[in-house]
Structure 1
Amino acid sequence: MRVRVSLLCLSFLILLSGILSAEEPAHIGSRRELFVDDWMIHSLKNARQELHHPVPQEVAITYDAPAEGNISYYVRILKDGDLYRMYYRGAHHDWSKGKVTHQVVCYAESDDAIHWRKPDLGLFEFNGSKKNNVIWTGTGAHNFSPFLDTNPKCKPDEKFKALGSGKGGLYAFASADGIHWRLLKDKPVITKGAFDSQNLAFWDEHRGRYVDFHRGFTNGVRAIMTCTSDDFVNWTTPEFIDIKNSPPQHLYTNATIAYPRAPHLFLAFPKRFVPSRKAAWHPDPKNNHPGVSDGVLMTSRDGMHWTRWDEAFLRPGQNRERWWQRNNHIAWGITTTPSPLPGHVPELSLYAIENYYVGPCRLRRFTLRQDGFVSINAPFTGGEMTTRLITFDGPQAKEGKGKPPVELELNLSTSAAGSVKCELLDEKGQPLPGFSLKESEEFYGDELDHVMTWKGKSDLSAFAGKPLRVRFVLKDADLYSLRFRNGE
């Protein structure tokens, strides 16, 4: 009897083990996967996810024109063909009178996202002159937030769209050229929320819908709400996003984008606001109001469920002007800019506000490696990362060229003494013949798009559609992203 019970227990444990080990493979096609969350990670051994930080560069623009001022804010940067467009609130707080003197929407543009100009548009009169860069003065001027509509059904005269707050909620705007704007509806299209922030929306190509992210309050804390739409006018009921395993903190803005190199991933760069703290030093002590800020990084795969890095992505740093109240607002929009260093590939540029309220208010550019938000990092003693079970697409034939190989492309960096090797594992965790760690090249260097080889072989077409894992062995190295490219 005891033997029978033991055998039954053993059978149950074996069955349970099989159930627990069963894992449905995730199909990643040929898309790029970053390590900003743990979605791709099955296991880590002596390795970790490391958050990286943007590097400050030059001041991109100073908001010193008459229609601008010391509280120019809520910056939006987008690329339109070969032109970069910047939209922002032009506003000024008069400390002697204790009030805001004006709020308008201003515009600047650039050919390289580094050097910016403010065109004289002659559209709206300000202080008795139309010689200015103002593009809107009515409803929504407080936080006007445009985007370039990539919806294939978008009407030509609505190529640009925007949200801006007014009486009762958020209003919808449209423009054919990004300069001349009109209201799409004389009533707000989104009414549930608290809209004194940079509230934004854009066409989500991956999911085929418009998506909105705007401010709401929950238990007295500034938070983020979201809703969706098929036509930009009729929206679902907003809901609060879910941020797992993070403490409630004031998120003043959100600056959410679909990351261009991996558009299935949402990245957000909220300004984290600490209302109880004030700067240790201020040029005007009587106006040293509380409310220091930094920038954090969040990521989501559906727009509702988010992972937030609680350590700051953008610290105020040693610049005192970024410690004053409500600074370090990261602009909505990331650009790709050339590196000034010889032999370096283009890098990402982000932008953030400094010297807010005190003035002159400025926007500083920051740079970051492409895909360089978070890496799998291992020390010199070595570490490992094994991916979840995945499948990828086979080769896609090109007209007149046949089928290209499918190759594992990595964005990675090592020290001179460091290295990266990898192997392909089957569902049982066994190395695939010819693609084991022993046969892997030992990579050292720094590349955005390195193709891994195993004894000179790189074509993985034979494994397309078959569940597998990739096991990486790293030594003083960082792995930022991977994809199985098939001829792109």
Structure 2
Amino acid sequence: MKINVSPEKRTFIDVDSLTQWDTNIYQRFPMADKVPIRGLEPGPSGTWDSGFTTIWGTVLKEKDLFKMWYWGQPETPSYDVNPDLPFVCYAESEDGINWHKPDLKITGQNRYPGNNLLTLPGCCMGVVHGLPGTNSKYLMALIRYGVGLVPDVTDIPKNKIDDPSGTYIYASDDGLHWNMVTKLFSHGDWACLYADKETNRYLLYNKVGAMHGIISRRSAIVVQSEDGIHWEGYDGVRKWHECFVPDDYDDIIARQQGGLISEYYGVGVYRCGESLISVEDIFIVWPHLRQCFAQNPNGLCYFRLGFSHDGIIWRHPHGRPIWLTTGNPSEWDAGFMVPSSTFVEHNDELFLYYGGSRYDHGWSINPDFSLKKDIPLSDHRDTARVMMAKIKKDRFASLASTYKGYFDVDAEKRYGSVLYINCICRSSDASIRIAIAEKQGPYHGAIRKSDSLNGFSFDDCVPITTDSVSAPVRFKNKKISDIPVDLPLSLRVELNKSEIFGYEWKNE
């Protein structure tokens, strides 16, 4: 199974390709911007989504239409029910901001007329387009929580099975009518399904329980598949690939934020050139910790980014910086956040939809996850919303200089006829120049033979002075296509009061 791709495109959240640099270069980590969206607010009392709306699912953009699979939940009817009673809902948008809940007329017409419900009996944990070799247009990961089926909505013959709880794969040709493909296992209540087109494989990240110290932690494993039916990487409990597990440094970060420990509460995944990028939901757990192999209930959270070369082993930039924080008290994401399964590309931006909760995790539950009876059931209504954050495309991290700095990148070879960089030059005296040099050899980390190839020095480069996610690199008297394809190359970057987020080779 192919797990790696060639570096036609690189982002500088991953700096493994650097070979030389000076003391004026440093790494920057911009945070995401929150953007208000409309149309997915909980409905009026008595409707299918009057309790709250949130997303652990997915938004896909097809041509000019955004499609969303998300979680809607009615009001909590009593103190004796499971607090998680998800419905899978579907919505559409033309701009990603203003959303519409279509009257699908698929199910629940007697109980909830005018609804946008699907018959799926659990929580959507990711929708992807089917890869070559898959006999359906879409696949979905769904987790069933082991709660009963809802009459007139999910209580249909194909949902009635003997052992309902667990993680399932479903398939569909229209995104609305789904059939179960296989059950994977029963571990945890969150997952993330991602289709990696570059390696033609599905990756599924799934919550499991793990121990770090004598403390139970939410963590995650990964399994992979080429067809969505047969999966590799899981042979039973602890016979798996652990990929997201909190450690001592995560606990130090938790202490800095007033908590005790850290846990993983969700991930989203996105391919950016040779690297996979993770959006990691880090749960900052407060007292009191449970003294058994069970879930700790109380705390806040934040999102951070990670990266991987193969989707199995994950790393973090230095310091594990925060990428998105919870909001201020009374805002819709003041208490907690959960990420959707991936970014959505829209023009020169990336959208990440997420679920925002008004109150902190555990606000209404006892340590055993039963509901607190001193909190009125009416206070459970309208407590979460689907929200959105965005960044400019592929601007996960940059290499920057406040004055003038230089660094070299092992580019391996010329992977295209033209070269583009993702960069920001904010002032009239800011600029970026690129030089191209031959490496001393074809091996990883080889330094350059000389300052540059003939015609490809810093002085030969036309200075770049713009803010662009795709600024062309040009030379005064030579074309990049003049360089032999198999010549081992170093890219040299001169930053003058500017920053660069990555680069990409293209054939034009």
For residues 112-127 of structure 1, the aligned pairs below 5 Å read 112-125=95-108
User: Distance between the aligned counterparts of 2:115 and 2:67, measured in 1?
Assistant: 16
Aligned to 2:437: 425
Q: Secondary structure at the match of 2:420?
A: strand
Aligned to 1:348: 350
Aligned to 1:111: 94
For the Cα contact (< 8 Å) 1:27–1:391, is it kept in 2?
no
Q: Secondary structure at the match of 2:504?
A: strand
For residues 4-153 of structure 1, the aligned pairs below 5 Å read 28=6, 31-45=8-22, 46-65=24-43, 66-68=47-49, 69-70=51-52, 72-92=54-74, 94=76, 97=79, 99=81, 100=83, 102-125=85-108, 128-138=111-121, 141-149=122-130, 151-153=131-133
For residues 299-378 of structure 1, the aligned pairs below 5 Å read 299-309=307-317, 310-318=320-328, 320-321=330-331, 324-325=334-335, 327-337=336-346, 346-356=348-358, 359-378=382-401
User: Distance between the aligned counterparts of 1:437 and 1:245, measured in 2?
Assistant: 44
* 1:410 maps to amino acid: I
Describe the shift of the 1:165–1:448 C-alpha distance in structure 2 as closer, same or farther (beyond 3 A): closer
Q: 2:172 aligns with which of 165, 170, 175?
A: 175
How far residue 319 of structure 1 moved from its aligned partner, in angstroms, is 5.5
Compare CA radii of gyration and give the structure with the larger one.
1
User: Distance between the aligned counterparts of 1:485 and 1:245, measured in 2?
Assistant: 40
For the Cα contact (< 8 Å) 1:67–1:126, is it kept in 2?
no
Describe the shift of the 1:244–1:171 C-alpha distance in structure 2 as closer, same or farther (beyond 3 A): closer
Describe the shift of the 1:273–1:127 C-alpha distance in structure 2 as closer, same or farther (beyond 3 A): farther
How far residue 243 of structure 1 moved from its aligned partner, in angstroms, is 7.3
Q: Secondary structure at the match of 1:251?
A: strand
CA-to-aligned-CA distance 1:31-79 (integer Å, 9 cap, x gap):
2211121122223321122111111221344331221223634232112
CA-to-aligned-CA distance 1:256-275 (integer Å, 9 cap, x gap):
2334xx3x432111211112
Q: Secondary structure at the match of 1:423?
A: strand
* 2:41 maps to amino acid: Y
User: Distance between the aligned counterparts of 2:312 and 2:114, measured in 1?
Assistant: 44
Aligned to 2:220: 224
Q: 1:409 aligns with which of 407, 417, 420?
A: 420
Aligned to 1:343: none
Aligned to 1:383: 405
For the Cα contact (< 8 Å) 1:244–1:308, is it kept in 2?
no
Aligned to 1:215: 207
For residues 178-217 of structure 1, the aligned pairs below 5 Å read 178-185=175-182, 188-191=183-186, 194-197=187-190, 199-217=191-209
User: Distance between the aligned counterparts of 1:458 and 1:318, measured in 2?
Assistant: 52
Unaligned runs of 5+ in 1: 1-25, 279-288, 339-345, 395-405
CA-to-aligned-CA distance 1:416-441 (integer Å, 9 cap, x gap):
22111121122242021111123222
* 1:59 maps to amino acid: I
Describe the shift of the 1:213–1:319 C-alpha distance in structure 2 as closer, same or farther (beyond 3 A): same
Q: Secondary structure at the match of 1:336?
A: strand
User: Distance between the aligned counterparts of 2:95 and 2:14, measured in 1?
Assistant: 31
Q: How many residues get paired?
A: 418
Measured on the aligned residues, the alpha-carbon RMSD in Å equals 2.7
Aligned to 1:235: 231
How far residue 241 of structure 1 moved from its aligned partner, in angstroms, is 1.3
Q: Secondary structure at the match of 2:316?
A: strand
Describe the shift of the 1:422–1:277 C-alpha distance in structure 2 as closer, same or farther (beyond 3 A): farther
User: Distance between the aligned counterparts of 1:360 and 1:168, measured in 2?
Assistant: 26
Q: Identity, % of aligned pairs?
A: 20
Describe the shift of the 1:393–1:442 C-alpha distance in structure 2 as closer, same or farther (beyond 3 A): closer
* 2:194 maps to amino acid: F
Is 1:449 matched with 2:475?
no
Is 1:258 matched with 2:281?
no
* 1:190 maps to amino acid: F
How far residue 246 of structure 1 moved from its aligned partner, in angstroms, is 7.7
User: Distance between the aligned counterparts of 2:228 and 2:401, measured in 1?
Assistant: 45
Describe the shift of the 1:81–1:451 C-alpha distance in structure 2 as closer, same or farther (beyond 3 A): closer
Q: Secondary structure at the match of 2:331?
A: helix
Q: 2:285 aligns with which of 275, 278, 298?
A: 275
Aligned to 2:372: none
Describe the shift of the 1:276–1:211 C-alpha distance in structure 2 as closer, same or farther (beyond 3 A): same
- TM-score normalised by L of structure 1: 0.78
Q: Structure 1 stretches (4+) deviating beyond 6 angstroms? A: 242-246
* 1:84 maps to amino acid: F
Unaligned runs of 5+ in 2: 145-163, 235-239, 251-261, 289-296, 360-379, 441-447
User: Distance between the aligned counterparts of 2:75 and 2:281, measured in 1?
Assistant: 21
User: Distance between the aligned counterparts of 1:432 and 1:408, measured in 2?
Assistant: 16
For the Cα contact (< 8 Å) 1:424–1:468, is it kept in 2?
yes
Q: Secondary structure at the match of 2:422?
A: strand
User: Distance between the aligned counterparts of 2:482 and 2:61, measured in 1?
Assistant: 36
User: Distance between the aligned counterparts of 1:88 and 1:213, measured in 2?
Assistant: 18
- TM-score normalised by L of structure 2: 0.75
Q: Secondary structure at the match of 2:20?
A: strand
Aligned to 2:482: 461
User: Distance between the aligned counterparts of 2:20 and 2:73, measured in 1?
Assistant: 50
CA-to-aligned-CA distance 1:312-334 (integer Å, 9 cap, x gap):
11012445435644x22222232
User: Distance between the aligned counterparts of 1:90 and 1:71, measured in 2?
Assistant: 5
CA-to-aligned-CA distance 1:86-143 (integer Å, 9 cap, x gap):
11121246397364384211111112222210001112217723420111242xx134
